[in-house]
Amino acid sequence: MTASPLWTPEALEAATGGSLLGNPKPITGASIDTRTLQPGDLFFAIRGEARDGHDFVRDALARGAGAAVVAADRAEEFSGAGGVLAVSGAGEDPILEAMRALGAASRRRTDAGIVAVTGSVGKTGTKEALLHVLSAQGRTHASIASYNNHWGVPLTLARMPADSDYGVFEIGMNHAREIVPLTAMVRPDIALITTVEPVHIEHFASLSAIADAKGEIFSGLSVGGTAIINRDNPNFSRLLAHAHASQAGRVVTFGEHEEADVRALRIVMRPDLSVVDASVMGIPVTYQLGTPGRHTAMNSLGVMAVVHALGADLARAALSLAALKPPVGRGERTALKLKDGEAFLVDESYNANPASVRAALATLSGIETGSRGRRIAVLGDMLELGAAAEEHHRSLASAVEEAGIDLVFTAGPMMRHLFEALPVSRRGVSAGASSDLVDPLLGALRAGDAVMVKGSNSIRMGRIVEALKARYAGAVDRAESAQAAIRQ
């Protein structure tokens, strides 16, 4: 929400071509979901896969929505309920068209430095890191959660205050050509690709095709904008070609490669943090990351590349990174209070693919355990891997071995292939569903253990995390105590 109206009635009508009817209230936000709607939000009655948003208009207005965007031919249905913005359109969903139009108008009216982030792995964490460091230097607007699709991007744009100093937008895709219209809407001044990995590969012929799809983000760059690419990725040359084919004025690279413009000279891994010595466009910078893991350290180089490209303060950004906490489901750390001591939970349950699982296992390997503690990985199926899905799961056995994981629990038919590839000594329990692992895991957990939970969203590994937290009530964030000890 903003103190002053986000959109005036005149601006709403001009941007969407609609007509305001009834008694609208000042618009201070935007929403497509009555469950999270805030008073003053402009509610878009979008037609979803299962429900029509018009079914929720009266509820939205009763909850305090400033107005609801509805189809012109249905506006009379809401007479007397509150303000409505009646819109028409030739497309399948005039409400979605209106939201896109409002998003485009929002982009036109701002002078903010606009950043777009995509990548197979790490885009949400990188977006959150940019929001964190830039918010200390100016008014920063960013996508919430993973609002990165054909609904999320225009909604995030529509929510952006005109006087923002910075805007950070996450852009995702499952298929080729999905990024093109989204980056055209955002028109970023800076576009960053974190990395390219075999994610959603069932929809692509090859990893190169995924790289081409990610490279689409550069097509929307503003004239003279900056393209930022991971120099260490095997698809670097392919991504570079996309950058050169765009309106980019320059290309900036990051990684450990000796030719990287933003280069990690040394990364020190500790159980609860990382320390990075880097060269940022020739400027030496040393900073601490409150979120551990080599993959997080690598993504932080991309963050520093963006900060430099924006002309923001590198030193302040470096200081800010020390206080960065991982988003829920993406590395959040929690101490679990058992009767005879403490265990440690790493929540990586938001999503999973081969690269992110390997990174999570590597991070788990660096976590200190108690005297009798074990490193336990609880893994759910990785989806959208196509014909090679079985092999992708089975091949994780080598990563388990390298990370020194003591015990592995698996959920789903695909992870069964990993379970069977492990030596008997490393096998915990293999179940068909995540809910079937709760009791065996709770029964096996003991003081000193470090447990990491990870899997694709639809496998619902978050149930296991919730069960662990519910059983061991009073759990506290171990990262907070670790950071306090460091500050002392």
3-class secondary-structure state, position 81: coil
Q: How far apart are CA 331 and CA 291, in angstroms?
A: 8
Who's near 281: CB < 8 A, 6+ residues apart?
252, 261, 262, 308
pLDDT at 486 over 70: no
Question: pLDDT digits over 418-427, tens only?
Answer: 999 999 999 9
The tally of domains found in the chain comes to 3
Residue 312 shares a structural domain with residue 368: no
Mean pLDDT of the chain: 92
pLDDT in tens, 204-254: 889 999 999 999 999 999 999 999 999 999 999 999 999 999 999 999 999
Local confidence band at 474 (pLDDT 50, 70, 90 cut-offs): low
Same domain, 301 and 166: yes
Q: Which amino acid, 112?
A: A
H, E, C per residue of 386-438: HHHHHHHHHCHHHHHHHHCCCEEEEECCCHHHHHHHCCHHHEEEEECCHHHHH
pTM: 0.83
> Do 288 and 229 fall within a single domain?
yes
Question: What are the angstrom distances between the C-alpha of 78 and each of 40, 68, 71, 95?
Answer: 18, 9, 11, 15
- Is pLDDT above 80 for 90? no
Least confident of 354-368, 412-426, 467-481: 467-481
- For residue 64, the model assigns a pLDDT of 97
Percentage above 90 pLDDT, the chain: 80
Residues 305 and 337 occupy one common structural domain: no
- In this structure, are 371 and 230 located in the same domain? no
C-alpha distances out from residue 232 to 206, 228, 239, 255, 265, Å: 19, 12, 12, 6, 14
User: Which range of residues forms the domain containing residue 444?
Assistant: 332-484
Has residue 3 been placed in a domain? no
pLDDT of res. 325: 81
Is residue 406 in some structural domain?
yes
Q: Percentage of the chain with pLDDT > 70?
A: 96
Question: Per-residue pLDDT tens for 35-65?
Answer: 999 999 999 999 988 899 999 999 999 999 9
Residue 2's pLDDT is 44
- Name the residue type at position 439: D
Q: Is 341 exposed, middle or buried (0-12, 13-18, 19+ CB in 10 A)?
A: middle
Ramachandran angles phi, psi of 21, nearest 5°: -125, 160
Which has the closest alpha carbon to 267: 222, 310, 299, 243? 299
- Do 383 and 443 fall into the same domain? yes
SS3 content of the chain, % helix, strand, coil (to 5): 40, 25, 35
145 & 185 share domain: yes
> Among candidates 146, 138, 140, 134, which has minimal Cα distance to 170?
146
CB 411 within 8 A of CB 380: yes
Say how far apart CA 293 and CA 179 lie, in whole Å. 28
Residues 336 and 231 in one domain: no
- Find the CATH number of the domain harbouring 73: 3.40.1390.10
Instruction: Say what the pLDDT of residue 368 is.
Output: 87
Give the pLDDT score at 473. 60
Flag whether 169 is in a domain.
yes
Rounded to whole angstroms, what are the CA distances from 396 to 251, 389, 419? 34, 11, 10
Spatial distance between the Cα atoms of 216 and 180, rounded to a whole number of angstroms: 6
CATH number, residue 276: 3.40.1190.10
Give, rounded to a whole angstrom, the gap between the first and last alpha carbons of the chain: 37
Chain segment 134-169, per-residue pLDDT in tens: 999 999 999 987 789 999 999 999 999 999 999 999
Considering the domain architecture, whether residues 233 and 171 belong to the same structural domain is answered as yes
Same-domain check for residues 407 and 480? yes
CB of 346 closer than 8 Å to CB of 360? yes
pLDDT tens, 11-24?
A: 999 999 999 999 99
Q: Is residue 83 domain-resident?
A: yes
Strands 332-338 and 41-44: unpaired
Across 255-286, b (16+ Cβ under 10 Å) vs e yields bbeeebbbbbeebebeebbbebebbbeeeebe
Task: Assess if residue 326 is contained within a domain.
Answer: no
The encoded tokens of residue 40 equal 């003053």
> In this structure, is residue 352 part of a structural domain?
yes
- Are 49 and 115 found together in one domain? no
Q: Please indicate, yes or no, if residue 102 is contained in any of the structural domains.
A: no
What per-residue confidence (pLDDT) applies to 479?
A: 39
CA 373 – CA 368 distance, rounded (Å): 9
Q: Please determine, for residue 476, whether its predicted confidence score (pLDDT) is greater than 50.
A: no
Q: Which residue has the tokens 């799809």?
A: 213
More confident residue, 481 or 383: 383
**Is 103 part of any domain?**
no
The type of residue at 407 is L
CATH of residue 348's domain is 3.90.190.20
Higher-scoring residue by pLDDT: 110, 4? 110
| Same structural domain, 312 and 360 | no
